[in-house]
């Protein structure tokens, strides 16, 4: 069975680049812009600006009415959760990351000394990948 073809529509002129194009057959009456990304972006910007002009009450103080209270609520919830867990907000994360970095660097030096044969009595053999890292 042959594939159905879209009906061919008469050409229109794009409102932005002024090139001719075939509009989508479902939106022949309403389509104003061609398929080019620049024209679609301009059409979107024009429609957004028109909506903002027609609906000023929707855009008035959006930040102070919605965004700012939401962020304050999130901060309070986060602080309450940290307080309930008994962990300081930033220090626990910083200490954890520092411990990981120190363990990684110490492990690298130990493996390097061992590979070069410089490992003396103070050095342990390199840690295996599955071993948990420890401080030097």
- For the chain, the domains span 12-56
* β-pairing verdict for 20-21 and 12-13: antiparallel
End-to-end CA distance of the chain: 74
Model pLDDT, residue 61? 77
Model pLDDT, residue 80? 83
Model pLDDT, residue 12? 92
Radius of gyration, CA atoms only, the chain = 32
Model pLDDT, residue 87? 63
Using a 10 angstrom Cβ sphere, with 0-12 exposed, 13-18 middle and 19 or more buried, the burial of residue 86 is exposed
List per-block mean pLDDT (blocks of 10 residues) for the chain, which spans 136 residues.
70 93 90 93 95 84 82 86 70 62 68 64 50 48
Model pLDDT, residue 50? 94
What's the whole-model pTM score?
0.42
Return the half-sphere exposure (C-beta side, CA atoms, 13 A cut-off) of residue 11.
5
CB 126 within 8 Å of CB 111: yes
């Amino acid at each position: 069975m042959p594939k159905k073809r879209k009906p061919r529509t008469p050409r229109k002129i794009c409102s932005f680049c002024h090139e001719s194009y075939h509009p989508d057959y479902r939106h022949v009456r309403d389509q104003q812009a061609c398929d080019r990304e620049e024209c679609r972006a301009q059409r979107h910007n024009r429609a957004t600006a028109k909506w903002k002009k027609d609906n000023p009450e929707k855009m008035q103080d959006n930040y102070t009415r919605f965004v700012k209270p939401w962020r304050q609520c999130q901060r309070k919830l986060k602080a309450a959760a940290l307080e309930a867990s008994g962990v300081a907000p930033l220090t626990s994360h910083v200490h954890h990351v520092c411990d990981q970095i120190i363990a990684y660097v110490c492990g690298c030096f130990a493996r390097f000394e061992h590979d070069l044969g410089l490992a003396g009595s103070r050095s342990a053999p390199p840690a295996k990948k599955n071993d948990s890292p420890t401080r030097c």
